[in-house]
């Protein structure tokens, strides 16, 4: 694979939730992948759940081919595991995995944010402001705190965090950062307590955006790191319900 092709493949992963329209079997496979992926990210399908192909066919109303393609794609994203004895299962949770994801995300996003603040132009500032505004206008739980999270909020949240590092100058960094964003989403889903919302969440986003467009790199990075740590702490408090012993 050429360097250009590899780079384009990496960048394409940034837009996994914004797949281009398709027809026929391809469209059905994409839809199945998207629905199964979201159920895993939202912890509707809990860690270590066995993913039997025929059960998934019934769940999503499709044939075996789209399900197999979806499972293979999710396997490449480490959201699904496969072994000879159990077949496919939803990837497990562990404290060590959480800490590695958070630590790596800190490294990447600090570099991405600093570079964006240094090199971003007016169009970048507009993207940050607009994505923050869109996120603030998207209800997280439109049907009540005991109802499922709004998938549009997830999309807006992802877009906001991508906007912060969008002018960093590295498509690879952005791709890896979004992979880590998706990885932490599964953990974030279990940190939610029914009937309870993190009321300061949007204030955190707005403060980060203000510091970024104000070109205050030290404050923006500090607020972003605190934002990540608060999420990680909430997850740690509830992780024991799903975690497997660390090796």
Instruction: Give the pLDDT confidence score for residue 126 in this predicted structure.
Output: 98
Model pTM score:
0.76
Instruction: Give the pLDDT confidence score for residue 194 in this predicted structure.
Output: 54
Instruction: Give the pLDDT confidence score for residue 44 in this predicted structure.
Output: 86
Instruction: Give the pLDDT confidence score for residue 64 in this predicted structure.
Output: 93
Instruction: Give the pLDDT confidence score for residue 200 in this predicted structure.
Output: 59
Query: Which is nearest to 196 in space by CA: 152, 141, 138?
Result: 141
The answer to whether 90 touches 79, Cβ cutoff 8 Å, is: yes
Q: What is the 3-state secondary structure (H, E, C) of 126-147?
A: HHHHHHHHHHHCCCCCCCCCCC
Task: Count CB-CB contacts under 10 A for residue 161.
Answer: 24
C-alpha 124, offset from chain centre: 21
Q: Which domains does the chain have, with CATH numbers?
A: 3-90 (1.10.10.10), 95-241 (1.20.120.530)
Instruction: Give the pLDDT confidence score for residue 1 in this predicted structure.
Output: 44
Burial state string for 86-104 with b = 16 or more CB within 10 A and e = fewer than 16: eebbbbebbeebbeebbee
Main-chain phi, psi angles of 139, to 5 degrees: -65, 135
Calpha distance 125→210 (Å, rounded): 10
Average pLDDT across each block of 10 residues of the chain; the chain has 247 residues. List them in order.
44 41 67 92 87 94 94 90 87 90 97 98 98 94 71 92 98 96 85 56 90 98 96 84 56
């Amino acid at each position: 694979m050429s360097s250009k092709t590899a780079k384009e493949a990496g960048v394409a992963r940034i837009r996994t939730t914004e797949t281009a329209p398709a027809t026929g079997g391809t469209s059905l496979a994409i839809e199945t992948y998207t629905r199964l992926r979201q159920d895993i990210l939202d912890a509707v399908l809990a860690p270590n759940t066995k993913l039997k192909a025929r059960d998934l066919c019934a769940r999503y109303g499709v044939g075996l081919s789209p399900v197999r393609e979806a499972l293979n794609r999710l396997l490449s994203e480490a959201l699904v595991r496969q072994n000879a004895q159990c077949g496919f299962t939803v990837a497990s949770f562990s404290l060590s995995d959480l800490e590695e994801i958070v630590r790596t995300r800190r490294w990447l996003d600090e570099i991405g944010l600093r570079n964006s603040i240094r090199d971003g132009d007016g169009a970048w500032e507009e993207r940050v402001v607009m994505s923050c505004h869109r996120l603030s206008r998207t209800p997280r739980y439109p049907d009540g705190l005991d109802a499922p999270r709004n998938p549009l909020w997830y999309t807006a949240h992802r877009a906001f965090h991508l906007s912060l590092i969008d002018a960093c100058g590295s498509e690879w960094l952005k791709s890896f950062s979004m992979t880590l964003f998706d990885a932490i989403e599964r953990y974030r889903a279990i940190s939610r307590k029914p009937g309870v919302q993190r009321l300061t969440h949007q204030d955190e986003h707005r403060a980060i955006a203000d510091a970024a467009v104000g070109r205050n790199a030290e404050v923006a990075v500090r607020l972003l790191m605190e934002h990540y740590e608060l999420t990680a702490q909430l997850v740690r408090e509830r992780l024991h319900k799903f975690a497997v012993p660390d090796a």
